Structure 1
Amino acid sequence: METKEIQKLIDYISKSDLDEVNIETSELKLHIKRNTGATVQTTQLVAAPAPAALPAAPSAAAPAPEAPAAPPVDANAGLIEVKSPMIGTFYRSAGPGKPNFKDVGDSMAEGDVICIVEAMKLFNEIEAEITGKIVKVLVDDATPVEFDQPLFLVDPS
């Protein structure tokens, strides 16, 4: 099972009423449990070398789950929150010394990579679901984020 398939499964479970899923194949054992803090546990059963962390991951051909857009926030009327689709570590750039994907004042279009969230040594590119201008970055670089935590405030106009 590839990383993008696991991420699709996690997204499906987060939208469903399921609280726990166990999947076991000859190559992989996967246990996903939803509580106040999500837990994802995978075990590779094949005796193969562990895959190296990708610099801009899971795959450029298949987009990572995208941060959902939320309704406007009261204190910031007209602005939309871009939220984290998963638990992990938030990164504004592809690596140390590299430019940020997006900064305050930058325009973004649907499909633009706006940040990376690292989860279990996998670097997931987060793509914009809306077009607009970044007004505020709500999370410091290289800090942990929770599922559905606001990352950016965007002006859609």
Structure 2
Amino acid sequence: MDIKEIQNLIKFVAKSGASEVKLEMDDIKITIKTGGDDKGESTTYVQQIPMGTAHVAQAPAPAAPTAAAPTPAPATDENSKYITIKSPIIGTFYRKPSPDKPMFVEVGKTIKEGDVLCVIEAMKLFNEIESEVSGKIVKILVDDSSPVEFDQPLFLVDPS
């Protein structure tokens, strides 16, 4: 994506009236925030994503407005050895398949590829989120029945 395309995207977002737009492609991440009060102000963040980074849960990012503030990913040294499993969609996070059933996973449980970790409800559909890695659940970052955003960290997994 060149500078001219980014400028055209900024103009389009400013005219659309959206307060925030996030666009994520293979090698670039763009966040455009507008003032929202018709002053024509906008803030754009362009971030190059280094090639070779592994994304645990990845889905195409729609260029649609979102209203929630970005959630900071845990980036402390102690968590750097863990794999972060992120939400592939926007919706409501549930740790169990139904209120009377046990939780899918608990802290300390060993998981393998393909194990169901949680479900995310989006537009009355319950989407099972499966693990793409094997390891041990170290931390659950979201409370049950909480809303989650696209790419929001859900679990920390120790792959060793």
Structure whose CA Rg is larger: 2
* TM-score of the pair, normalised by structure 2: 0.55
Alignment-derived partner of residue 131 in structure 2: 128
- Kindly provide the amino acid, as one letter, of the partner of residue 74 in structure 1: T
> Aligned residues: percent identity?
59
CA distance in 2, matches of 1:126, 1:145: 13
Which of 81, 97, 103 is the matching residue for 1:78? 81
> What does 1:32-111 align with in structure 2 at a 5 Å threshold?
34-37=63-66, 73-75=75-77, 76-111=79-114
Amino acid across the alignment from 2:63: R
| Offset, 1:34 | 1.9
How many correspondences in the alignment? 99
Q: Note if 1:117 corresponds to 2:120.
A: yes
State the SS of the aligned residue for 2:101: coil
**Residue 141 of structure 1: which of 128, 140, 144 is its match?**
144
Q: Return closer, same or farther for 1:117/1:15 CA change in 2, 3 Å cut-off.
A: farther
TM-score (norm 1): 0.56
Give the Å deviation of 1:78: 0.5
Pairwise CA distance, 1:80: 1.1
Alpha-carbon contact 1:92-1:114 (below 8 Å) kept: yes
Q: CA RMSD in A?
A: 2.7
Report the alpha carbon displacement of residue 15 of structure 1 after superposing the two structures with TM: 5.0
Render the CA deviation track for 1:38-97: whole Å, top value 9, x for unaligned.
9xxxxxxxxxxxxxxxxxxxxxxxxxxxxxxxxx94341301110000000000000102
Matching residue's letter, 2:64: N
Provide the rounded CA distance (Å) in 2 between the counterparts of 1:73 and 1:109.
Answer: 24
